[in-house]
């Protein structure tokens, strides 16, 4: 029986211990000051944070009503830095010696002069106060509840009315207006220059061990009042210590001692040189901003002559410098550079390539059209040109066959069926739809006979509502890229898609489409090579939700587009100078070689035909400048290391070139497109495989034979 009682008592004690409430640490801030204030009062307000547990960092700001208050000075607590006396006053503190702040810590005391009239209100409040605390083995940021302090300015009490008549008083002498100092010294610093009552600006330098200036000041008038403000010194900076003399008459005079205090020898300057974001006044930043992505592209219409760019540093002690964005050159890459310098001097550079479109018309370059109406007008002009019509001056109408429909700055990315019906009438024309993050290129000859949609919405998103599902099934949580289009169905025909990524040039990725209806992946393109500036191109006749990944997704259905990816080059060649700014001499020399008679054997047999489908001309891309010479003689003079070997009936040409790149002018660009068209005409039945990567040998392999 006794044992049962003991056991019951133990169980009750354990139960009570389990049910006892555990301590909960919730930090809060407070502001305290006098209960009443009058105009002319100098008040002191204390900023305190309580309820901290193992906190090693503090940050936040204090705002005050500058119309009724003037901050005369700030006295910060230990290891606390602040940015001045103008509202808002920002405080940053961090323990660098491995210790923690006490549970209750006075961040600072602030001295204010009340300047508002009776009846008005003074207000002081904290904002965005955070503490960094240790949570187990981790360090996390915690929000601190805010605080406020406000008072209504009261009028001074009226003078009392005498109850009995009094004899007239003798007029007192006028009060002194002398607000000079008789002496000014500091017991722990040397003040220069030597004191003079008429000199109000002084300097002093102290070591880190001196945290405040010990001022000794005596007024010339014994009835004057002397007050010292802001004598707590900021480590590694300069503090304006103010000595204010108020004469009996009420006028005042301020003496300022600019005091420089050495930095903490144990303080480690922050190396945070990241920015929190990039803000632009027009266009769309591609890819979307991420602190670790340093290269971006913005496409702008011809009408945009400049762009305003701003950025903010993550660390308030870091600085940001931005150059570029003014006087954008049409048809060219315009650089905007953002340099964020951390407190320790380390720099991080972000760059933006601003691509401003070329003016309307101009050679074989695509016409920049803003809106659907402009595109329809261009189709009308193209039809008039083909029918041989003349303008009002009797001159034959000419039109460009490469049309750019620019929707990058349009809220709607919808393209009506009528646009594709017009493109369908011109088999030799191309239509490029620019939606900001992406460009989609259609050829007239690829448009289907029957168009079943009234509108096609090409709005592009760098995400998908199925992103989590796609990444989990693809086993690619972070490395790949997920994107989607508003239109989720078949297109009017096959098109070439150009997207900006943050991947490295030369890397290869697989592109998969995801269908929620059957929970299946479809392989759209295999081993897609990333081009200069992260540009990626693929060929497809649908819009949907996609993932670009290095992973191979087992069980994915092979889509028809896989065997058509070679068409990316033949579709995009006429737009090369608009979408890709650079190329290698070897690729141009190779095209010239074809024009002047390099023979390519024709395909033989069904097996060779299937091989040929995957050996289409790939885009000739690299980071150099485009180079083209007018004839074979000039081109050959620039090629170095040309070697041609003939083997049996099949000819294999290996070209290795090294050449200086030069600026591509309009005349050369025109000839480049002319040569491409001539090549298409001469070899319309031929398909070639061109592998052209930076610092690699360019090979031409006869169809039906394997590379050796």
What are 336-348's pLDDT values in tens digits? 999 999 999 999 9
**Same domain assignment for residues 397 and 544:** yes
Going by DSSP bridges, is the β-strand pair 402-406/367-370 parallel, antiparallel, or unpaired?
parallel
User: Can you give the pLDDT at residue 602?
Assistant: 32
**What is the phi/psi pair of residue 456, to 5°?**
-125, 115
How many Cα atoms occupy the beta-carbon half-sphere of 130 within 13 Å? 10
Q: Which of 521, 554, 573 is the last residue of a domain?
A: 573
Residues whose CB is less than 8 angstroms from the CB of residue 490 and which lie 6 or more positions away in sequence, other chains included: 541, 542
In a domain? residue 589: yes
**Hey, what are 153's tokens?**
């300015």
User: Can you give the pLDDT at residue 526?
Assistant: 94
**Same domain assignment for residues 474 and 588:** no
474-477, Cβ contacts within 8 angstroms, sequence gap of 24 or more? 474/512, 474/521, 474/547, 474/549, 474/551, 474/553, 475/551, 476/547, 476/549, 476/550, 476/551
- Cβ density class 117-143: b for 16+ within 10 Å, e for less: eeeeebebbbeebebbbeeeeeeeebe
In a domain? residue 656: yes
How many Cα atoms occupy the beta-carbon half-sphere of 144 within 13 Å? 29
pTM: 0.37
Measure the N-to-C terminal CA separation of the chain; round to a whole number of Å. 95
Residues whose CB is less than 8 angstroms from the CB of residue 319 and which lie 6 or more positions away in sequence, other chains included: 313, 340, 341
**How many other β-carbons are positioned within 10 Å of the β-carbon of residue 701?**
20
Task: With beta carbons less than 8 A apart as the criterion, state whether 28 and 107 touch.
Answer: no
Q: Cα separation of 108 and 49, whole Å? A: 10
Task: With beta carbons less than 8 A apart as the criterion, state whether 350 and 387 touch.
Answer: no
Task: With beta carbons less than 8 A apart as the criterion, state whether 699 and 652 touch.
Answer: yes
User: Can you give the pLDDT at residue 432?
Assistant: 92
Question: What's the number of domains the chain is made of?
Answer: 5
**What is the phi/psi pair of residue 181, to 5°?**
-95, 150
Residues whose CB is less than 8 angstroms from the CB of residue 323 and which lie 6 or more positions away in sequence, other chains included: 336, 337
In a domain? residue 270: no
Q: Cα separation of 415 and 589, whole Å? A: 39
Dihedral sign for Cα 623, 628, 632, 635, please. Answer: negative
**Same domain assignment for residues 352 and 300:** yes
Task: With beta carbons less than 8 A apart as the criterion, state whether 591 and 598 touch.
Answer: no
**Same domain assignment for residues 440 and 372:** yes
Task: With beta carbons less than 8 A apart as the criterion, state whether 216 and 204 touch.
Answer: no
In a domain? residue 351: yes
Going by DSSP bridges, is the β-strand pair 55-64/309-313 parallel, antiparallel, or unpaired?
unpaired
**Same domain assignment for residues 689 and 567:** no
User: Can you give the pLDDT at residue 4?
Assistant: 59
Low-confidence ranges of the chain (pLDDT < 50): 18, 21-25, 360-369, 569-673, 675-677, 679-708
User: Can you give the pLDDT at residue 395?
Assistant: 87
Alpha helices in 443-509 (DSSP H): 467-474
Q: Cα separation of 679 and 573, whole Å? A: 11
**What is the phi/psi pair of residue 372, to 5°?**
-65, -40
**Same domain assignment for residues 530 and 617:** no
Task: With beta carbons less than 8 A apart as the criterion, state whether 65 and 123 touch.
Answer: yes
**Same domain assignment for residues 567 and 480:** yes
Residues whose CB is less than 8 angstroms from the CB of residue 116 and which lie 6 or more positions away in sequence, other chains included: 39, 65, 67, 68, 69, 122, 153
In a domain? residue 594: yes
Alpha helices in 303-435 (DSSP H): 372-386, 417-424
**Same domain assignment for residues 147 and 85:** yes
Q: Which of 573, 592, 622 is the last residue of a domain?
A: 573
Nearest to 125 by CA among 151, 147, 152: 147
Q: Cα separation of 73 and 68, whole Å? A: 16
Q: Cα separation of 254 and 237, whole Å? A: 21
In a domain? residue 10: no
Beta-bridged to residue 113, according to DSSP, are 42, 70
**Same domain assignment for residues 505 and 627:** no
**Same domain assignment for residues 82 and 139:** yes
User: Can you give the pLDDT at residue 147?
Assistant: 93
Task: With beta carbons less than 8 A apart as the criterion, state whether 503 and 547 touch.
Answer: no
**How many other β-carbons are positioned within 10 Å of the β-carbon of residue 650?**
13
In a domain? residue 431: yes
**Same domain assignment for residues 337 and 378:** no
Query: Cis before residue 287, ω within 30 degrees of 0?
Result: yes
User: Can you give the pLDDT at residue 9?
Assistant: 65
Q: Which of 356, 386, 402 is the last residue of a domain?
A: 356
Q: Cα separation of 29 and 142, whole Å? A: 13
User: The domain containing residue 223 runs over which residues?
Assistant: 181-261
User: Can you give the pLDDT at residue 308?
Assistant: 96
**What is the phi/psi pair of residue 669, to 5°?**
-60, -40
Whole-angstrom CA distances from 283 to 306, 307, 456 are 11, 9, 22
User: Can you give the pLDDT at residue 595?
Assistant: 37
If you search the block for the tokens 């029918």, which residue do you land on?
Answer: 387
In a domain? residue 225: yes
How many Cα atoms occupy the beta-carbon half-sphere of 596 within 13 Å? 12
Nearest to 220 by CA among 177, 283, 284, 165: 177
Beta-bridged to residue 37, according to DSSP, are 153
**Same domain assignment for residues 461 and 601:** no
Task: With beta carbons less than 8 A apart as the criterion, state whether 30 and 105 touch.
Answer: no
Digit-coded pLDDT (tens) for 426-479: 999 999 998 887 899 999 999 988 888 888 999 999 889 889 999 999 999 888
Nearest to 540 by CA among 486, 497, 485: 497
CATH, residue 101:
2.60.40.680
């Amino acid at each position: 029986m006794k044992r049962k009682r003991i056991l019951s008592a133990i169980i009750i004690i354990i139960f009570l211990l389990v049910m006892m409430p555990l301590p909960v640490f919730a930090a809060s801030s407070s502001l305290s000051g006098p209960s009443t204030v009058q105009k002319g009062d100098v008040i002191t307000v204390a900023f305190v944070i309580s309820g901290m547990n193992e906190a090693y960092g503090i940050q936040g700001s204090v705002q005050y009503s500058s119309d009724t208050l003037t901050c005369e000075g700030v006295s910060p607590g230990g290891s606390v830095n602040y940015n001045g006396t103008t509202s808002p006053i920002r405080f940053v503190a961090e323990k660098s010696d491995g210790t923690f702040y006490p549970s209750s810590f006075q961040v600072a005391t602030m001295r204010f002069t009340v300047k508002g009239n009776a009846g008005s209100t003074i207000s002081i409040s904290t904002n965005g106060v955070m503490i960094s605390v240790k949570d187990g083995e981790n360090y996390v940021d915690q929000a601190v509840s805010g605080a406020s302090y406000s008072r209504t300015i009261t009028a001074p009490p009226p003078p009392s009315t005498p109850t009995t008549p009094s004899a007239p008083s003798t007029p007192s002498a006028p009060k002194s207006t002398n607000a000079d100092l008789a002496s000014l010294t500091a017991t722990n610093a040397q003040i220069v220059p030597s004191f003079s009552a008429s000199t109000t600006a002084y300097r002093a330098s102290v070591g880190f061990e001196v945290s405040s200036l010990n001022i000794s000041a005596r007024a010339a008038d014994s009835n004057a009042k002397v007050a010292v403000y802001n004598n707590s010194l900021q480590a590694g900076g300069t503090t304006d210590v103010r000595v204010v003399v108020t004469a009996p008459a009420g006028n005042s005079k301020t003496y300022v001692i600019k005091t420089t205090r050495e930095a903490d020898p144990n303080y480690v300057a922050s190396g945070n040189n990241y920015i929190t974001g990039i803000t632009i006044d027009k266009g769309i930043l591609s890819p979307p901003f991420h602190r670790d992505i340093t290269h971006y592209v913005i496409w702008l219409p011809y009408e945009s002559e400049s762009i305003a760019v701003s950025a903010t540093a993550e660390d308030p002690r870091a600085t940001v410098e931005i150059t570029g964005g003014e006087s954008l050159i049409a048809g060219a890459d315009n650089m905007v550079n953002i340099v964020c310098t951390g407190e320790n001097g380390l720099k991080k550079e972000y760059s933006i390539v601003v691509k401003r479109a070329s003016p309307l018309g101009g050679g074989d370059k695509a016409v920049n059209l803003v809106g659907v109406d402009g595109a329809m007008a261009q189709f009308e002009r193209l039809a008039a040109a083909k029918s041989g019509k003349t303008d009002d001056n009797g001159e034959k109408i000419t039109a460009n066959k490469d049309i750019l429909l620019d929707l990058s700055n349009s809220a709607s990315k919808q393209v009506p069926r009528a646009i594709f019906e017009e493109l369908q009438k011109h088999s030799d024309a191309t239509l490029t739809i620019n939606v900001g993050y992406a460009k989609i290129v259609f050829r007239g000859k690829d448009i289907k006979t029957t168009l079943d949609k009234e509108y096609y919405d090409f709005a592009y998103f760098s995400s998908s509502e199925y992103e989590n599902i796609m990444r989990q099934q693809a086993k690619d949580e972070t490395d790949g890229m997920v994107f989607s289009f508003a239109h989720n169905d078949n297109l009017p025909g096959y098109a070439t898609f150009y997207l900006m990524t943050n991947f490295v040039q030369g890397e290869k990725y697989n592109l998969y489409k995801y269908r929620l209806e059957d929970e299946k992946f479809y392989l759209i393109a295999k081993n897609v090579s990333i081009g200069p500036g992260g540009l990626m191109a693929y060929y497809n006749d649908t819009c949907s939700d996609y993932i670009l990944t290095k992973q191979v997704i087992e069980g994915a259905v092979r889509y028809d587009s896989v065997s058509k990816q070679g068409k990316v080059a033949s579709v995009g060649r006429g737009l090369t100078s608009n979408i890709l700014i650079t190329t290698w001499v070897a690729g141009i020399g190779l095209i010239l070689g074809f024009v002047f008679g390099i023979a390519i054997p024709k395909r033989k047999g069904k097996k060779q035909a299937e091989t040929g489908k995957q050996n289409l001309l790939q885009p000739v891309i690299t980071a150099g400048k485009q180079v083209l010479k007018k004839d074979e003689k000039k081109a050959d003079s620039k090629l170095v290391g040309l070697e041609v070997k003939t083997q049996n009936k099949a000819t294999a040409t290996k070209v290795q070139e090294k050449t200086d790149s030069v600026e591509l002018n309009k005349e050369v660009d025109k000839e480049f497109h002319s040569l491409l068209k001539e090549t298409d005409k001469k070899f319309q039945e031929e398909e070639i495989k061109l592998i052209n990567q930076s610092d690699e040998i360019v090979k031409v392999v006869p169809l039906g034979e394997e590379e050796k």
